Amino acid sequence: MPEIVLVTGCSTGGIGYALCEEFARQGCKVYATSRRIETIEDFGNENIERLAVDVTSDEDVQKGLDYIVEKEGKIDVVVNNAGIIGAGPLAEQPLDFVKQVFDTNTFSILRVCKAVVPIMASRHYGTIVNIGSVFDPLERPVLRLQSRQCTPSARSSLWSSNPSASPCLHVARALSSPNIAANGTSRFALAPGSLYTDFLAMIHKRINASQERNSMPSDVFARKVVANALKKGGPPQYMTLGGLAFLFSIMKWLPRSWALAIMWKQYSQRSSK
């Protein structure tokens, strides 16, 4: 019987979409979800089914899981990939937007885990993967792979609030999605009279950092993550992937003041007048 996989945040062109294709290529039955199903283009593989799930809604998450269990009788793998970017100066972010980012990037992981862990625990089998940004090691763990034994565990600045939801799910570090960066750049603007106007170019640079020449293509990333998620004996606790992964894995061991000084130097230059 094939592994049954649920992936959140599967808009076309992003990591979630690539993960769905790779899981299906490995013989899994995959449920590709997004808040709006029209953001997911049709897949060429008949083993992938699109499903509308709003990860910020308890009712919607439970409804989606119930639908899968009713059809398949189980859920073997869940990938928490949904996320939105919260770019810009935290001091100037509207609180409603801050709450939206935390609900989508952090609380959604707890919401999905809370709903799916009992399903997995009833079979003593399951894998949970949390995907986050390669920049996150400076603040906390990023992508987590839950043990096959399904022993609950999870852990979670605005975008960096993503998959550290709680100290319970084992982790593997990842590269942030190209869709996240593209959407963040297109939607981001400073308010008139912002104290940070001179740093706008640096803010855009930070948003797009994951898409520079050292970035890892989504399909390559997906192959590596799926191979480990389906690994016999269970996945590793941590994975760090991407062109800058090695650099950030080193930086997390530096004194925090040193690491932050490096980041500040990289992204704090004022725009030339």
> pLDDT of 210-238, one tens digit each?
666 667 888 998 999 999 999 988 888 77
- Give me the pLDDT at residue 139, please: 46
- Give me the pLDDT at residue 188, please: 67
Would you give the DSSP letter of residue 26?
T
Q: What's the chain's Rg over C-alpha atoms? A: 18
* Contacts of 264 by beta carbon, 8 Å cutoff, 6+ apart: none
Hey, where are the domains in the chain?
4-267
116 membership: H or E segment, kind and range:
helix 108-121
Task: Tell me the C-alpha distance between 157 and 171, whole Å.
Answer: 19
| Tokens 């979670």 found at | 156
Instruction: Say what the pTM is.
Output: 0.77
φ, ψ at 107 (rounded to 5°): -65, -25
- Six token digits for residue 40: 């997911």
Specify the 3-state DSSP secondary structure of 79: strand
Task: Tell me the C-alpha distance between 94 and 209, whole Å.
Answer: 24
pLDDT > 50? residue 185? no
> pLDDT of 75-92, one tens digit each?
999 999 998 877 667 778
For 4-267, CATH gives 3.40.50.720
Rounded to an integer, the average pLDDT of 48-74 is 97
